[in-house]
Structure 1
Amino acid sequence: MTRTQDWIPPGVDITTPSIARVYDYVLGGSHNFAVDRDTAETLKRIAPGLRRVARLNRAFMARAVRYQMAQGIRQFLDIGSGIPTVGNVHEIAQRIDPACRVVYLDRDPVAVAHSELMLEQTPGTGVVHADMRDFERVIGSAAVRQLIDFDEPVGLLFMLVLHWLPEESKPVELMGDYRDLLAPGSYLALTHATHDEQKQDLEDLGDAIRISRSADQVTPRTYEEILALIGDFELVEPGLVGCADWRADGPGAIADPSSNDYTYAGVARKT
């Protein structure tokens, strides 16, 4: 194995694209393969604003974490966290309070391996290799049991991940399980692809991902369908809006009306 590939975990299929690695490439990362880069370039030709969408998502995540910190949240569970890049949840949270605890979860082995390597010397952090659909495995994992106290408020993050769940995975029921787990005062922050404004682009993106043979297939949802994932949690102002519109006057805001049409973002509180 070459020196540039010694970060690849055993058994990784480098002939089939991974959405985690495609996203890493779109954000300018280096933990991806030719098949991921080819897929990303195809998707960018269909939706030229894709890189901006990824940046809007990261900027929203940072603002959402800082908002939750201001409300007293000191433990976070980042579901579908992906391959680490600049401005990860623990970096934002522990800069404000070094005692914050953060657990990252992903099913992609490259994302997990790189996260474990990055966090080796970082107290109060953990990594779980699991599929978010395996609820019992997630909450029963060693890192979650050691670092997350569900009797206290938790910040639960789903950044650009729930649209990879098809309807047959029963995402509304799954999200109900996660919401029921949380103590009052907890927060749910999410971003989710929508076809409310860019229906043709999202359909074309879905077709391209299917052709690429990726194991992940996108299921964009409407405003009302995304609200159903939030359930009875109370959305904080300004509600469920485009990523760039959520508290856009805060640090890290990016103005981009066209790319903003592809996703909804929101933060909701359990009362």
Structure 2
Amino acid sequence: MESEARSEEAQELLLFLSRWRPIQEAAMLVVLLNRRDGLSHLSPLRRMLHRQPYLSDMTRVVVQRGPAAVVEYVKALSVVNEDRGEAVRACRMTAVDLDVDDVAQTVKALRAAEFGTEADNVIRVAGKDPQAIGRIVPLAGALWSAGMDADADRLLEMVTGNSPEQALELAGEMLALGRHMKAFELYLKAAAVIAHRPASESVRILSAMDEAGHGDLAEPSCELSSRPLSRRQTFSGSVRNCQPRAWRTGC
């Protein structure tokens, strides 16, 4: 019982330091406690904490201090630690734990500080981690608002690259946000899926293009078949007679 109490007290102290002390001190503590060699005077503290996820908790507390803290933490770790494992952990926590506006600002700050690899890691986690995947559209919007268009595009490319179905789903959300050109780019990626949907879906998408002021992209490149489409006929069934220019040339 006494050992457990000491362990809890030690962890509370470390979390307090991570929350209130300068970021550089928190980074140094994480590095020292993570070392396996030397500094034998820290061994009792390591043994006291060996069952606690104290390193993860310390990093999470730092990340929760916001974008500027994340950048300072990554910078400090890069100076004192050759092992980038804790920086990678911080990037993952940034993508999962912070709200999307703070994630976008962190990516922007990391790139400004020339930590491009870490910024890429945040985007990669945001696009692939199951805990972050539900925030793709809001995060893309936050990145656009922060002027990080390339990162927003990279995020969407990562999510939709090998999934026409995901591209179709996100295209609808982009359209609802007023991001018409991005929506149409995603619709193009989903052409193989749309081709097997009822023709009414293609008509809906092309109509949306026209309503958004991009009717030239929606004009057919050849004459429509004189035979009317049945209710269940798919776009692929009429593709020989009409291929929308958008499917062929892009937006």
TM-score of the pair, normalised by structure 1: 0.28
Q: Which of the pair has more CA radius of gyration?
A: 2
Q: Greater share of helix residues, 1 or 2?
A: 2
Q: Greater share of strand residues, 1 or 2?
A: 1
**Greater relative contact order: 1 or 2 (C-alpha under 8 angstroms, separation 6 or more)?**
1
